[in-house]
Amino acid sequence: MKHLLLIGIGPGNPRQITLEAIDALNRAEVFFVLDKGAAKDDMLRLRKELLERHVNRPYRLVQVEDPLRDGEASDYVGAVQDWHRQRAALYGRLIDSELADGQSGAFLLWGEPGLYDSTLRILELVEHQHFSLEVIPGISSVQALAARHRIPLNRIGEPLTVLPGRRLAEQAQIDNLVVMLDGHCAFAQLEDPDLHIYWGAYLGTPDELLIEGPLLAVKAQILAQREQARARKGWIMDTYLLRRR
């Protein structure tokens, strides 16, 4: 039987890969890497550097173009589901043509495979393939954000909510909340004077940006730095925690 490894490699710092992940890297004969275009060459380069640094056995690197998702579709869920089906078809072809029976293949996944990563859901859609699956956890951007700001994620007796940016406006009360995938900067629409924000971008990389303070006092600074960084690099990965003081 073919074997797949989903390996969490952390949010960007190559030293944050775990010993378990390094062991898993050295069990794979084939690594599948999705090319997301020239704007995201940094992400591809880091994956290749991790392999060169940590893998001490022969391996093959299979690099393919990632299907594009319609980011402007009015039906967000439908667009994501269609994108997942395209990826599932691609993964099925890769497993069929690039992985021999008895071999192990691996996907190197940013952050933590179980938190806002779609690979597990996509593999459930792969048809006519039989393979075993193993997930190796990684450090998430949420953990890295708290560490870099030197704060605990939770407060005593309070829950911690994690949600995507498109769901922020639905929150009637914000007490302790982490926002991911906020491409439209939903925090900029909030006018609550009691909210404090801990924001970070490119966490763990040389381009890391960190800003914290009362939301109303610093949100213009975050928007400006975010726009400058995106223009400079062509992409941005950021997350933040909103907390009622």
CATH at 104: 3.40.1010.10
> Do 165 and 135 share a structural domain?
no
Q: Is the pLDDT of residue 155 over 70?
A: yes
What count of other Cβ atoms lies within 10 Å of the Cβ of residue 96?
A: 12
Q: Is the pLDDT of residue 36 over 90?
A: no
pTM for the whole structure = 0.91
Question: Same domain for 225 and 132?
Answer: no
Answer yes or no: is pLDDT of 41 > 80.
no
CATH number at residue 237: 3.30.950.10
Q: Are residues 111 and 208 in the same domain?
A: no
Say if residue 15 is in the same domain as residue 120: yes
Going by C-alpha positions, the residue among 242, 205, 194 that lies closest to residue 222 is: 242
Are residues 230 and 132 part of one domain?
no
Is residue 38 domain-shared with residue 110, that is, in the same domain?
yes
Query: Are 107 and 191 contained in the same domain?
Result: no
Per residue in 5-23, pLDDT tens? 999 999 988 899 999 999 9
Q: Are residues 60 and 11 in the same domain?
A: yes
pLDDT over threshold 80, residue 74: no
Long-range own/partner contacts, residues 41-50 (CB < 8 A, 24 or more apart): 42/205, 42/233, 42/235, 43/110, 46/9, 46/12, 46/14, 47/9, 47/108, 49/14, 50/9, 50/14, 50/17, 50/25, 50/108
Query: Which residues, in sequence order, are CB contacts of 201 under 8 Å at separation 6+?
Result: 207, 208, 209, 225, 226, 229, 236, 237, 238
Stretch 137-141: mean pLDDT: 96
Q: What is the pLDDT of residue 37?
A: 65
In a shared domain, residues 110 and 147:
no
Given a cut of 80, is residue 71 above it in pLDDT? no
Provide the domain count of the chain: 2
Give me the pLDDT at residue 40, please: 66
Last residue of a domain, one of 139, 161, 182: 139
Contact between 92 and 127 under an 8 Å Cβ cutoff? The reply is yes
Q: Based on the domain organization, do 126 and 177 belong to the same domain? A: no
What is the per-residue burial (b if ≥16 Cβ within 10 Å, else e) of 47-69?
beebbeebbeeebeeeeeeeeee
What are the tens digits of pLDDT across the range 158-197? 999 999 999 999 999 999 999 999 999 999 999 999 999 9
pLDDT of residue 202: 95
The pLDDT assigned to 54 comes to 95
Query: In which band, very low, low, confident or very high, does the pLDDT at 75 lie, cut at 50, 70 and 90?
Result: confident
Q: What is the pLDDT of residues 194-233, one digit of tens each?
A: 999 999 999 999 999 999 999 999 999 999 999 999 999 9
Q: Are 195 and 230 in a shared domain? A: yes
Boundary-marking domain end, from 139, 168, 186: 139
Task: Based on the fold, state whether residues 135 and 146 are members of the same structural domain.
Answer: no
Q: Is 44 helix (H, G, I), strand (E, B) or coil?
A: helix
* Structure confidence by residue, pLDDT tens digits, 78-137: 888 998 999 999 999 999 999 999 999 999 999 999 999 999 999 999 988 889 999 999
Given 92, 107, 139, which residue is the final one in a domain? 139
Domain span at 102? 2-139
